[in-house]
Amino acid sequence: MTEGAQDDPLDALDALDARLLLLLTDEPRLGVLECSRRLGVARGTVQARLDRLVRRGVLGGFPPALDLAAMGYGLTAFAILEIAQGRRQEVAERLSAIDEVCEVHATTGQGDLLVRMVARNNDDLQRVIDEVVGADGVQRTSTSIALSTPIPPRVRPLLERLLTDS
């Protein structure tokens, strides 16, 4: 089926996908109808594209963007954890139970896990670090604090490149 071939990730997104995603990035609550009007394509086309983006896993919904600092978690810290042999899975589950742990990657290099966490203040951070480090299977830890965030998480440049490349 031709459709199947188009689902190949290498040619997954075309210019129209990019324009649609950029539009929704700027104005997330636009309806399908308004999107079709802005992009100058049929309503059905917009709906089909949205469906396909969701089906392929590109679009995961429109969750609220929350600012943790504004919520009172003014400190962002990173930890690099060295894990005892064969216990990475177990440590990841333990970390998952710590509310302030916001993101964990398993990476190459000297540490096994890169952890992002937040805290309300220094005392709170020490408590969070103690919980993270205290997870059974953690052997060594290196922590650092984000003093500022020159580039917050972003996807827009890749969408714009997609527009240009298509």
Residue closer to its own copies by CB (options 40, 109) is 109
Nearest to 65 by CA among 7, 152, 134: 152
Residues 119-148 binding its own copies (CB under 8 A) are: 122-123, 125-126, 129-130, 133-136, 138-148
Residues 5-34 binding its own copies (CB under 8 A) are: 9-10, 12-13, 21, 24-25, 28-29
Which residue shows structure tokens 């096994």? 112
**CA–CA gap between residue 132 and residue 97 (Å, rounded):** 10
**CA–CA gap between residue 34 and residue 49 (Å, rounded):** 14
46 binds its own copies (CB under 8 A): no
Single out the residue of 6, 66, 163, 166 in contact with its own copies (rule: CB under 8 A). 66
Residue closer to its own copies by CB (options 46, 75) is 75
**CA–CA gap between residue 115 and residue 133 (Å, rounded):** 11
Residue 52 CB neighbour total at 10 angstroms: 17
- Per-residue x/- mask for its own copies, residues 74 to 93, rule CB under 8 A? xxxxx---x--xx-xx--x-
